[in-house]
Amino acid sequence: MKKIILENIKKFIFNYTRFGAPGYSYNLEPIQLSEIILSIEKTKELSGSICEIGVARGMTTRFICEHLKLLNYKEKFFCIDTFSSFEKEDIDFEIQNRQKSMEELRGFNYNNFERWKKNFENFNFVKPIKADIKKFDFKLISPLKLVILDVDLYKPTIIALNNLKKNMVSGGIIIVDDIKNNHAWDGAYQAFNEFVNSNSYNYRIIGTKCGIINF
């Protein structure tokens, strides 16, 4: 009887409300998600770990975890974030040097490190790290074969890229989000272009806002 009632409730919700409509839960474009999976496959025979920097609530993290679980992934998947929004000094830099406003840069205050860890406790390979990426020593988790970098602002992006390059294996890949000019998070766009123009790595842009760097 309970099952019949539940099915009738579901039928009502689907037919007479928008709650039953499928939604898109990711901030990344479909081509970016596809590229992440393709990059995991390309690098799976390399020595080293995977790292996501800027995990927010963990939507992309969960997407990656589901694929790694299918692969019976044995290495570590490091997940680094402040878990408390942007650092004040990075926001100040955007406002003072890149003509951004505080209103544009609000967000991500909802995150909580302990809650985030609990949400991923069933994935043994996930290793969350609470840190300001500008001050993080990547030697602690190197070598790295795949990095997904999504920290939005100029300073953490450029510093992370310059520090990561010393810790990537040959054949490794960095995927950078927000490589798009003239929007709130175009600090990442500026940092990406400065980095690839001052180094000899192969790179490409896919979709409207995703940069791929090959090492």
131-169 pLDDT tens trace: 999 999 999 999 999 999 999 999 999 999 999 999 999
- Please tell me the distance from the alpha carbon of residue 112 to that of residue 198, in angstroms, as a whole number: 36
Q: Tokens 């290793």 label which residue? A: 127
Q: What is the pLDDT of residues 172-188, one digit of tens each?
A: 999 999 999 888 778 99
Domains of the chain with CATH codes: 27-214 (3.40.50.150)
Global confidence as pTM = 0.90
Residue type, 172: G
